[in-house]
Amino acid sequence: MAWWGWTVMAAAAAIAVSASHGPGRPGHVTVSLVKMPYVGERNVPELSPGPDRLEASGLTASLEAMGATVRPVATARLSGEEERAYGAWNRLALANGHLAGLVADSLRNGDLAVGLLANCSSLLGMLGGVQRSGPGSRPLRVGLVYLDAHADFNTPETTLSGMLGGMDVAAAAGLCLTNLRRTSRLDPPLDTRDIVLAGVRDTDPLEQQLIEKWKLARLSVDDLRARSPSFRETMSGLSERVDAIYVHVDMDVLDPREVEGHSLAVPNGPTSDELAAAVVEIFKDPKAVAFGVASTPTGGQDKGGLSVAAAHKLIQAAVKGVQDRG
C-alpha cells in the first residue's frame, strides 16, 4: 500500500486526544517551544535574532497566563563537527534534522509544538518532525497551511532572486533540493494536494505557473479575514485527507504596519487580530498539532513592539484553538 493510503486510525486518535486535552485535564494544553536559530545563506537583509528575542519577550508567561503548561525551550543545535561541515545550506539542513527530532518528541508526548523560527527555511524541519511523530516508523501524511505574503514555491530554475527561503514549499513538495529535504528528515515529500497557500499576494511569474500547474489550494486575505465558506471547506477537506496538520506563519503575511522591520513586507495583509481569529479556527481541529512563527522583527527592527506583540497573539491563538476543542 502506498504511504499516503495508510490510515493511522489508532495513532491519529491518540495524537488527537493527547494534543487536545493533555494528560487527564479536558481543555488543558502543554506547549513545547522549539527554537531554530539557523538561517542558512541569505541574500536579503537578515532580521535580528528573532527566536532568541521572542523567547525572552515574556512568551512563556503569556501562555501560562492562559492556563497552558509550557515546557522549557528546546533549541536545535549543531554539533561541533556539524558546525564545521561545508556549505551553509548543508548546515541548515543538518540543523533542520535536529529540529525535526525535537518536534517529533514533543508531539509523541501529546504537546502542542510551537516553533520559534529564524526564517522560513526551517519549514522542512518542522514538517519532518510532524511526519515522523507517529507511533512507528511509517511516516504520517502531513498537511501544510502556509500563511505568507509569498508562496515560496520557486525552484532553482524559476527563482528570480536565488533565495533559499523562496523555495521551501517547492522543496517540501519534492520539486527541488532533494538532499536538503531528506537531510531535514522530510521524506517522502508532501503531496501537493495537501498544501494550502494562505494570504499569498506576491509571486514571481514562473512561480505562479508552478502554483497553477500543481493546482495548489489557495485562500485569499479576505478568506482569512472572514473565515469564509472557502476557508472552512478548504480546511475541512485538508483535515479529511491527512493525519496531521502543520500551520506555518511568516510574519510578512501581516499588514505592513505591524511588521515595519520586515524587509519583505507586502501591502494589504490581514491584521494580527484578523489572522489570530483564523488560527483559532484552524486549531480547533485535533489534527492541527504544530505551529511555527518565522521571521519576526524584534529589537530595533520592531519599533513599538508591534511585531513581537503580533507573534504572541498568533501563538496564543493556536493555544486557544486547542483549548476550545470539544
The answer to whether residue 229 scores a pLDDT higher than 50 is yes
> Cα-flanking dihedrals φ and ψ of residue 322, to 5°?
-65, -40
pLDDT score of 1: 32
pLDDT tens-digit series, residues 164-216: 999 999 999 999 999 999 999 999 999 999 999 999 999 999 999 999 999 99
- What is the domain-level CATH number for residue 67? 3.40.800.10
Half-sphere exposure of 67 (CA within 13 A, CB side): 12
pLDDT tens-digit series, residues 31-51: 999 999 888 776 555 565 779
pLDDT tens-digit series, residues 8-34: 333 333 344 333 333 336 689 999 999
By residue range, what is the domain housing residue 45? 3-323
The answer to whether residue 130 scores a pLDDT higher than 80 is yes
pLDDT tens-digit series, residues 230-282: 999 999 999 999 999 999 999 999 999 999 999 899 999 999 999 999 999 99
As a whole number of angstroms, the distance between CA 112 and CA 107 comes to 7
Burial class (CB in 10 A: 0-12, 13-18, 19+), 121: buried
| Percent over 90 (pLDDT), the chain | 84
pLDDT score of 20: 36
pLDDT score of 16: 40
pLDDT score of 47: 60
For 244, the 3-state DSSP assignment is strand
All cell numbers assigned to 325: 476543542
Query: The whole model's pTM is what?
Result: 0.92
pLDDT tens-digit series, residues 102-127: 999 999 999 999 999 999 999 999 99
Q: Please, are residues 15 and 110 in contact by the beta-carbon 8 Å criterion?
A: yes
The answer to whether residue 305 scores a pLDDT higher than 70 is yes
The answer to whether residue 5 scores a pLDDT higher than 60 is no
Q: Torsion-angle region of residue 321: left (phi > 0), alpha (psi -120 to 50) or beta?
A: alpha
Q: How many domains does the chain have?
A: 1
pLDDT score of 42: 62
As a whole number of angstroms, the distance between CA 256 and CA 280 comes to 22
pLDDT score of 8: 34
pLDDT score of 25: 60
Beta-strand runs (E) in the chain: 30-36, 69-70, 74-75, 112-117, 142-147, 195-198, 217-219, 244-250, 288-294
pLDDT tens-digit series, residues 283-304: 999 999 999 999 999 988 998 9
| Percent over 70 (pLDDT), the chain | 89
pLDDT score of 184: 98
pLDDT score of 250: 97
pLDDT score of 39: 85
As a whole number of angstroms, the distance between CA 50 and CA 117 comes to 8
pLDDT score of 166: 95
Reported confidence tier of residue 314, pLDDT bands at 50, 70, 90: very high
